[in-house]
Structure 1
Amino acid sequence: MTIPATHAEIEELYLNAELKQCRSISVTACNSFEGTSTIAQALTERYLLAGHRTLLVDLNLYHPSLTPLDITPAQSGITELSELKDNWVQDRQSPKVFLGVIAPSEPRTRLLFKDPSNLRQQVSVWLEQYDRVVIDTSPILNVNKNNIPAQCVANACDGTYLVALSGVTLSSQIEDAVQSLTEGTHTQLLGAILNYRDQPTLANEICREIDRLRWLPSKVTQWMKRKIRQNRFLALPI
């Protein structure tokens, strides 16, 4: 699943963060596979389109999404955490390429990043070289000894977005996640993102049926689908 950087919803996320003067953004969710990596990449693209030098950081140790490319790395400002070097990286499931940081594999490095002060220091180092930093985090409610807690990452960033998968994430899980993010911390929760990935809109379903009408001229079917997608009522999820 990919989301265009010019998507209206991504534009809203971008403007919301910019109006609140957030230079570092973390994207998290209650559970795994709810769309944090997709949102983080789309938001990174939007920052790049705006002319911001942007670094995408993968701290989602539960399900890493980035893999390094064999390209000469950019000079890194990282000192003691030498493994986390910025380099050209690629999404594991698409051809998208970014300047980014892959998920750390060394236990010692993971342990260092679990220290809130170390993590804040590292984000500050990245912000000396980049205009914006977007961090993909592990799920809040999937706690294990290897994950870097999403709460620590959120607390080290200027703002955080919480992703919820429609039809899957429970309201009680969202409440627990919000409480975990904000209780006793200085985390700024920028908002919640409702992912309709598994709930297609009525417009998409109608367009899918139109595609079966192969006897109609292509110009007619394209016109019909364009009119259907422009209807705000049909854009609602089923």
Structure 2
Amino acid sequence: MIIPEHYVELERIYNTTLAKNIRSLAVVSTFPGEGVSSIIISLAKRNALAGRTTLLVDLNIHNPQLNSQLKKAAATTKSTTIKVTDFDQHISVIRGPTGRTFILNLRKPGVLAQHIKQWLTRYDNVIIDTSPMSLKNSANLPTEYIVGACDGTLLTVLAGKTTNAAVATTIKKLQLVPALLVGTVINDQFNPTLKHELLRETRRLNKLFPKLAIKLRHWINHNKILALEV
């Protein structure tokens, strides 16, 4: 799910990354489905509000999502060239080539860093979608290569699913690169707050006690204690 540009949670992420002169940012996760692509698109849209241009680079060869989430059709044929798709005047997308020869070339020291340097002559920021750190096969571009070429790295964690041990392993791998870990985003998709759980429970009252359900939801939504972040 894309985070709306006005949400304070997104503002906090933005202020610790792109707003702090992190021009090239890699967004990583331990496992698939932790929300990397959604965070990337949300950051790009927030960056657009500041009048800045962003190039999104989809190097998650395991499961590329950026084009589909931006409602742009992407070719599935293997390619040996890099093609840029303009989403609007502030956001452009590159779906990384999947040809084995090109992937092997990107693994060479300094090659990806040189691409990023060239992209930054045309765009204010570059954000790269990476394959999950836990996935290792010859078809992927190892995430370690990507984070090593970027100014900063943002880690996404799916709360309630990804274990502490798995996150610790990922952080250790990032430290060995070394990568500059500028922040961690906790995805609460499967770990709702007490407030959201209480709101969900009020739906049970909709049929029998609709007025009571409405009053309870109003109280929950305006309760200052439940609005506090822990």
TM-score range for the pair, normalised by the shorter chain length:
0.7 to 0.9
1:62 aligns with 62
Contact 1:201 1:236 in 2 (8 A): no
Matched residues in 2 for 1:151 and 1:105: separation?
18
1:10-89 equivalences under 5 Å are 10-18=10-18, 20-67=20-67, 69=72, 83-88=81-86
Q: 1:216 to 1:174 in 2, by over 3 A?
A: same
Displacement of 1:211 in angstroms is: 4.4
Matched residues in 2 for 1:31 and 1:232: separation?
35
2:185 corresponds to 1:193: yes
Matched residues in 2 for 1:176 and 1:102: separation?
28
Contact 1:66 1:89 in 2 (8 A): no
Moved more, 2-11 or 114-123: 2-11
Contact 2:53 2:91 in 1 (8 A): no
Question: Identity over aligned residues, as a percent?
Answer: 33
2:172 corresponds to 1:179: yes
Displacement of 1:114 in angstroms is: 2.0
Contact 1:166 1:198 in 2 (8 A): yes
Displacement of 1:98 in angstroms is: 4.4
| Runs of 4+ more than 6 Å apart | none
Deviations 1:37-63 (A, max 9, x none): 111111111111111011111111121
Query: How does the TM-score come out when normalised to structure 1?
Result: 0.80
Provide the aligned C-alpha RMSD in A.
3.0
Displacement of 1:19 in angstroms is: 5.2
Displacement of 1:228 in angstroms is: 2.4
SS of structure 2 residue aligned to 1:234: helix
What amino acid is aligned across from residue 134 of structure 2 in structure 1?
L
Contact 2:80 2:99 in 1 (8 A): no
What amino acid is aligned across from residue 163 of structure 1 in structure 2?
T
1:51-130 equivalences under 5 Å are 51-67=51-67, 69=72, 83-88=81-86, 98-130=91-123
1:6 aligns with 6
Matched residues in 2 for 1:227 and 1:183: separation?
49
Matched residues in 1 for 2:92 and 2:223: separation?
38
SS of structure 1 residue aligned to 2:110: helix
Q: 1:113 to 1:203 in 2, by over 3 A?
A: same
Matched residues in 2 for 1:112 and 1:231: separation?
56
What amino acid is aligned across from residue 84 of structure 1 in structure 2?
I
Moved more, 14-23 or 139-148: 14-23
Q: 1:235 to 1:5 in 2, by over 3 A?
A: same
Query: How does the TM-score come out when normalised to structure 2?
Result: 0.83
Matched residues in 1 for 2:224 and 2:27: separation?
28
1:78 aligns with none
Displacement of 1:178 in angstroms is: 1.1
Contact 1:89 1:102 in 2 (8 A): no
Contact 2:27 2:153 in 1 (8 A): yes
Q: 1:137 to 1:230 in 2, by over 3 A?
A: farther
Displacement of 1:121 in angstroms is: 0.4
Matched residues in 2 for 1:101 and 1:202: separation?
39
Contact 1:32 1:62 in 2 (8 A): no
Deviations 1:151-184 (A, max 9, x none): 1111111111111111111212112111111214
Contact 1:201 1:235 in 2 (8 A): no
Q: 1:33 to 1:236 in 2, by over 3 A?
A: farther
SS of structure 1 residue aligned to 2:16: helix
2:157 corresponds to 1:159: no
Aligned residues: 220
